[in-house]
A and B are shown apart, each in its own frame.
Chain A
Amino acid sequence: RKEVEQDPGPFNVPEGATVAFNCTYSNSASQSFFWYRQDCRKEPKLLMSVYSSGNEDGRFTAQLNRASQYISLLIRDSKLSDSATYLCAVHEGDSSYKLIFGSGTRLLVRP
């Protein structure tokens, strides 16, 4: 089993749709979680951190489920510009400074 797993997609949705991605992780000691966005042929960019209580940034909501060991990203009112690959990242352990990345979920938003 991979340490961090994501559905590769692609998720093909119309503009205005709500779409959700999940990311499972295997190390129960992990304490810090992040979502990154990566456009084609570009570097990953931090989208948001994931906090225990869940957090929201505009149309984006991130949540953590420690019991089931997954994090989620919800995108509401999808825009064409949201088309990208979304990577989840999990710190390796309690005090680790290494991140383990999922392979990414590709999102295509169509007009």
Chain B
Amino acid sequence: DAGITQSPRHKVTETGTPVTLRCHQTENHRYMYWYRQDPGHGLRLIHYSYGVKDTDKGEVSDGYSVSRSKTEDFLLTLESATSSQTSVYFCAISGGGGGQPQHFGDGTRLSIL
């Protein structure tokens, strides 16, 4: 399995609090991605990174920010969590550009009350 670790694995928090999810990889892959998965919507891209300090928005980026200060770490932050951000969050990595598959971490189950 690809060396991807997400933390925390589970989190329950309250509306309005900041939340940071961490994705750590040991594969030295250039590309990293954050997705959320919800019933009826499948996997939706939140943000992605194509290198250290190089990030861009995905299709559902509102309310989320990311940072990548090292190749191995990609952080996803919910500045002020809302109940609509209750979801399962997956990090993925890819070694190349077009043509390469992505490999996923175990996921973080986030509940916002």
- Supply 4 further A-B pairs (C-beta < 8 A) apart from A94-B98, A103-B41: A44-B104, A46-B103, A97-B48, A97-B94
- The size of the chain B interface, using a CB distance under 8 A, is 24
A46 contacts B97, CB within 8 Å? no
Q: Which interface class (under 10, 10 to 19, 20 to 34, 35 or more) fits A?
A: 20 to 34
State the total of A-B contacts with C-beta under 8 angstroms.
Answer: 54
CA distance A31 to B101 in the complex (A): 12
Which label, helix, strand, loop or mixed, suits the secondary structure of the A interface?
loop
Across-interface contacts of B42 in A (CB, < 8 A): 87, 101-104
A32 contacts B99, CB within 8 Å? yes
B40 contacts A97, CB within 8 Å? no
CA distance A111 to B106 in the complex (A): 29
User: When the two chains form the complex, which single residue of B45, B90, B101, B106 contacts A98, counting CB atoms closer than 8 Å?
Assistant: B45
B28 within 8 A of A: no
CA distance A34 to B103 in the complex (A): 12
A43 contacts B98, CB within 8 Å? no
A43 contacts B99, CB within 8 Å? no
A-B contact pairs, 14 of them (CB 8 A): A42-B107, A44-B90, A46-B101, A49-B101, A87-B42, A91-B98, A91-B99, A97-B96, A97-B97, A98-B48, A99-B101, A101-B42, A103-B41, A103-B42
B31 within 8 A of A: yes
B102 contacts A99, CB within 8 Å? yes
Across-interface contacts of B58 in A (CB, < 8 A): 98
